[in-house]
Amino acid sequence: MSRHETVDPATCAAWIRDRGPVVALTGAGVSTAAGIPDFRGPQGLYVTRRYDPERVFELAAFLDDPLPFFDFSRDFLQVLDEVEPTATHRFLAELERQGRLTAVVTQNIDALHQQAGSHRVLEVHGSYWTSTCLGCGATFSVEQLRQKILSSEVARCQCGGVVKPDVVFFGEPVRALDEAASVIRDAGLLLVLGSSLTVYPAAWLPDECRGTVVAVNQGEVGLRRGPERYVVDADLDEFFTSVGRELGLPNS
């Protein structure tokens, strides 16, 4: 079976300059590079803390007993306290600031893109960035949620309702999928970063791109072969630091 063609940082930089607008689709690899273990990996929270994902992120189980989810969340937010956005997160935020990148579509729930300075972030699996009371519909920031789960076993609103982070649980539809498909359809260049493209429905989003697709990941990528489809097997931060240097971006 033939392999995908690949590109070097200088070529990727030239395409960012000339083939925009740029959209990024990011997966778990962007977050693991920040130091967040893959939930299901050998050092993931499911394994090291012995959490059952069917109890933690299954909607019916949460509505029956939210405590396992909040036990997990206390550990997860502690992990977030210990990590910072990576060079790749900051690279994408700088591209947006310069008007080259129109959106980040992410499968991650850690809000590191927002922390890096990205503004238009389409979170198809939701995130901890905001939370909603299941009783009255009041909304809360991640800091307000943090205070609640550190002060009580289950986060509750003043009305008494349970506060649920806006994370997509098993049993809930993904979010912003139509908007994500639309911005990718209009992209001249789609950067697929840190995703093996095996989790659906996000895995089919690159098929919507009518321009150039460059997937950068360490390991296999399920990108459909065809014209203007390229795969780079490389460390994300190293590759995009080089791309940023070619573009003359600050701190590259």
Burial state string for 212-233 with b = 16 or more CB within 10 A and e = fewer than 16: bbbbbbeeebebeeeeebbbbe
Q: What are phi and psi of 111, to 5 degrees?
A: 65, 20
Q: CA 112 to CA 35: how far, in whole Å? A: 11
Q: Which residues does the annotation mark as catalytic?
A: 125
Residue pair 193/108 in contact by the 8 Å Cβ criterion: no
Can you state the angle between helices 87-97 and 236-247, rounded to 10 degrees? 30
Query: Which residue type, as a one-letter code, is found at position 203?
Result: A
